[in-house]
Amino acid sequence: MKLADLAIAIYASESAMLRTLKAIQVSDREVDLKAQLAYAMGEEAAGDVHQGSTSLLSNLLKGEERAKVLGNIAGLLSSYQWEDTFERNRAIVM
């Protein structure tokens, strides 16, 4: 994953979340599906960003700095709790 791909994944996730918030504010009848889709997209993007940023920074940094930065990224992304992935994805498909 390249730097531009990281930016696209982050932008797309933010856009999905903002569109879902807008759907909630206007009482969209499909808000539950939109929320599930945004959550699933955020989960996938977080994994992609973690993998891509780890790969990119592993090649750019060395030694103690590399370990510290990669630890910070892992700590930041591990704070998100992605629960009920299978059930949510099954509900989206139905």
- The domain total for the chain is 1
Residues 41 and 83: their CA atoms lie apart, in Å, by 13
Long-range contacts formed by 57-61: CB under 8 A, 24+ apart = none
pTM, to two decimals:
0.75
The residue segments making up the domain with residue 18 are: 3-93
pLDDT digit string (tens) for 18-69? 999 998 898 878 888 888 889 898 888 888 888 888 998 999 999 999 999 9
